[in-house]
Structure 1
């Protein structure tokens, strides 16, 4: 793993720092490429955008948003470690297209039809999402035993899921937090929402490969992005 010397500007202590690697959706471990020689910057004020950097997977070339590398010096200063920016011409984003184009299904689903049960409240929504994950093929789907600070509502073998039942559309921060928690645990993740998703949350989930489902009050989860379409087509 790439390592660079980092000096704390507060206490002048030198560190050898290597960024953490996370699995790309293709499975390859990916870490932000550090910028040798660039000074680390103390973090005195946080913004959500500053906490993420664009990184290209060295195996498949996919561009994704990854946590900004940070180092906590023993003196108490938290340092932002500079990352080499993605500047190749083919890194430029193309024209925006439709937010969601369902994937063609060329073969019949190998599962029986999902049995819908009307959703009348948060408990019904949670139960529906759990049954749906089991129907997709996930094993040992269980509800979190107690409220989680990370808002993880369901767990299964190799998976965590969140079920949003609030009145407002699910926000970008909620989607990114679920994805980051899944990265930290080296598992997949799925999001279910009763009210739907804010446009920036939907766009980020598409780029991160995070399946989004909307819970229809009639009781059938509906895929609303390409990763969810793919999950529905292939199963767990």
Structure 2
């Protein structure tokens, strides 16, 4: 269980007891930001990607990713950004050491022939099965973006960040080789929304995916099928549901 820390609102001086939520890493292990018991919470007056997200390393597999900065809503209406320790921010570019396969270590102990000297295998290696997806409950527009980012990370995409180009509607996020759009409104995504996302992906030589809370207009779904754009609907549990064939394929095979 994550340790709770006292947090005082700088606006009304009310004190709260806060425990940081944990999010699932690709390996399935929970990742939670280390809270600074001596730090002071600050009021959120504006939003920026650099302040809303922090880089954390999974303690189980060593994977480095971006995760939502812990926040708390005070009854007075102030949104508090919770202080974290310096261990939460890791210098970019740090290499994650490779983990030796357990089977290789076992063979070495038994005196078996190393893999490099063994005869080549005739069958293709099977991809490692993914762990069950652990969704993030959606209560706000920011939760919808977080849910989409966690899902893309589960699929195997890396370096998830805010997209360089802002979409006409919704919020754009990007990963290595992918541009995605998250629409947290109650309006179904339109034909223009899908086409704009596809054009943005084409200019960046990347794949794309669309996440919507309210679904899609009929012509938008037809156009997405023709362009090969994966469409997902986000339910309030935070689980993306594929709604066309490209999305089914992406959900099944991953990045």
TM-score (norm 2): 0.48
| Pair 1:156 & 2:189 matched | no
In 1, Cα distance between equivalents of 2:179 and 2:173: 6
Once the two structures are TM-superposed, the CA of residue 150 in structure 1 deviates from its matched residue by: 5.2
Q: CA deviation at 1:149?
A: 5.1
Unaligned runs of 5+ in 2: 1-125
| Distance apart, 1:144 and its partner CA | 3.8
Shift of 1:167: 1.4
What residue is the counterpart of 1:136 in the other structure? 155
Q: Indicate which of 187, 197, 202 corresponds to 1:183.
A: 202
Does the Cα contact within 8 Å between 1:150 and 1:178 map onto a contact in 2?
no
Q: Shift in Å at residue 224 of structure 1?
A: 0.3
Equivalent runs, 1:39-54 vs 2, <5 Å: none
Alignment-derived partner of residue 232 in structure 2: 213
| CA contact 1:150–1:181 (8 Å) conserved in 2 | no
- The TM-score with structure 1 as length reference comes to 0.52
Q: Does 1:123 pair with 2:159? A: no
Unaligned runs of 5+ in 1: 1-106
Shift of 1:143: 2.4
Residues 109 and 173 from structure 1, CA distance in 2 versus in 1: closer, same or farther, beyond 3 angstroms? Answer: farther
Residue from 113, 121, 134 that aligns with 2:132: 113
* C-alpha displacement of 1:132: 0.4
Q: Secondary structure at the match of 2:189?
A: coil
Match for residue 226 of structure 1? Answer: 245
Distance of 2:147 and 2:249 partners within structure 1: 20
Instruction: Judge conservation of contact 1:212–1:223 (CA < 8 Å) in 2.
Output: yes
Counterpart in 2 of 1:90?
none
Distance 1:172 1:149, change over 3 A: closer
Contact 1:144 1:154 in 2 (8 A): yes
* Residue pair 1:118, 1:218 contacting (<8 A) in 2 also: yes
Structure of larger gyration radius: 2
